[in-house]
Structure 1
Amino acid sequence: MILTQEQKDNLTELINIGFSRAAAALSELTGDRILLEVPKVDVVPVEELGPRLEPVAEGEVTTVHQLFSGDVSGDAMLILNRSGALLLTDLLTESEAGTYSDFSSTVREVLLEVGNIILNSCLGMFGNLLKVHFTFSVPELQINAVKEMLATLHSGQSRVDYALLVFMGFSLKEKFISGNLVIVLGVSSLARLLEKVDKLDDLMLEES
């Protein structure tokens, strides 16, 4: 499925709004200024996810999953590579670089909290602005290779067809950590989402 430029722009705007809310929540939680950047947003067939993710997430990755269902259903994920996840934990806990070298309980708690804030901010904003009702599962943390992670995808439908792929980054304490937000959807859920996205300007006027 090829998006129009307007659809890409609207999706980017929605993600930016969600990330702004998430950054504010993370900044308040840590007492440090945190920025979340969204360099690129795209929709790709699920079979292209592996080739798109593996160059930026080699080896073991951490994935915070959250299933959502309702008018639009799917699986939302925050993905960080090993070094990025450990560095982010060092920075958020104000620890010296290299303090965390494995996925201890502290690291897992930090990553789950960060993932929960980002996923809830984005999905909640999608729901509010697009007038779509969601229910959410409890977020879960997985640590495995990209190929194994992709095998767990779930869209709430008979099959997974497409993924909203966001190449993102955290700016914190003069460090930049890249990551990915991925939202996988069945074809009917994606169609419903894009139908709402096409009406974004009108929906935002209603909010103002």
Structure 2
Amino acid sequence: MVGEQIILSVPSLEVVSHGAAEALIRERETGDLVAVRQDFTGAFSGRALLIFPHITGVQLARAVLGEELDGEELREMEQEALAETGNIILNGCLATMANMLKESLSMSLPEVVQGKGDDLFDVRGQVEAPGPVLFLYINFSVRNRDIRGYIAMLMNLPSILALKALVHDFIQRVMEDGEQHVS
């Protein structure tokens, strides 16, 4: 999409409370944020967020749309470019997880939201209390640009437990396959 190689760092991963995820974002990012949000359902369910500092989102949109666009043209197409980019990244991440775990997931259409960390993790309208957040921090590097972002997955406790069981089964399969190759 950007016509350049994208380098991703090894993600750091934490499972934190909803409030701790909001605090983590507030500590790391003082300015406005932009996020692509998609809900997913299947063997485990929740909401995935691809979060960028607003300026990074603009840089990513410029990388996707091209340098020749002026400010007004860029602003008009920015949200659409971010939604499509977020859709590709989040679908790629979740589809890879689902394939490795031998499960399937369905994804909603992407939605671009802006605001502070608290706004992005807003779960008003949900019946249950906010669940844990699987929080990944990834550095993105696109053609000498410092484009960094976060992937957060908001899941309730039953979904976290289902994911944990699926990961356990995956590890068992990998270990069994390894033992068969050694024998």
TM-score, normalised with respect to structure 2: 0.85
Look up the match of 1:80: 52
4+ residue runs of structure 1 moved beyond 6 angstroms? 205-208
Look up the match of 1:48: 20
Deviation for aligned residue 1:99: 5.0
Query: Residue 202 and residue 100 in structure 1: after superposition, are their counterparts in 2 closer, same or farther (change >3 A)?
Result: farther
Matched, 1:130 2:101: yes
Look up the match of 1:158: 128
Matched, 1:110 2:81: yes
Contact 1:90 / 1:100 at 8 angstroms: preserved in 2?
no
Task: Show structure 2 runs of 5+ residues with no match.
Answer: 179-183
In 2, Cα distance between equivalents of 1:157 and 1:134 = 22
Look up the match of 1:147: 118
In 1, Cα distance between equivalents of 2:132 and 2:105 = 19
Moved more, 168-177 or 182-191: 168-177
Identity of aligned residues (%): 25
Deviation for aligned residue 1:207: 9.1
In 1, Cα distance between equivalents of 2:35 and 2:153 = 12
- Residue number among 89, 92, 96 corresponding to 2:61 in the alignment: 89
RMSD: 2.6
Matched, 1:191 2:164: no
- Residue number among 159, 168, 176 corresponding to 2:138 in the alignment: 168
Query: Residue 51 and residue 121 in structure 1: after superposition, are their counterparts in 2 closer, same or farther (change >3 A)?
Result: same
Look up the match of 1:33: 5
Contact 2:133 / 2:155 at 8 angstroms: preserved in 1?
yes
Larger Cα-atom Rg:
2
Deviation for aligned residue 1:93: 2.6
Look up the match of 1:7: none
2:141 maps to a residue whose letter is: S
Deviation string 1:67-86 (CA, Å, 9 cap, x unpaired) is 01122110000001111111
Query: Residue 201 and residue 110 in structure 1: after superposition, are their counterparts in 2 closer, same or farther (change >3 A)?
Result: same
Task: Show structure 1 runs of 5+ residues with no match.
Answer: 1-28
Q: How many residues matched? A: 178
Deviation for aligned residue 1:131: 2.0
Contact 2:84 / 2:110 at 8 angstroms: preserved in 1?
no
Query: Residue 102 and residue 158 in structure 1: after superposition, are their counterparts in 2 closer, same or farther (change >3 A)?
Result: farther
In 2, Cα distance between equivalents of 1:207 and 1:102 = 53
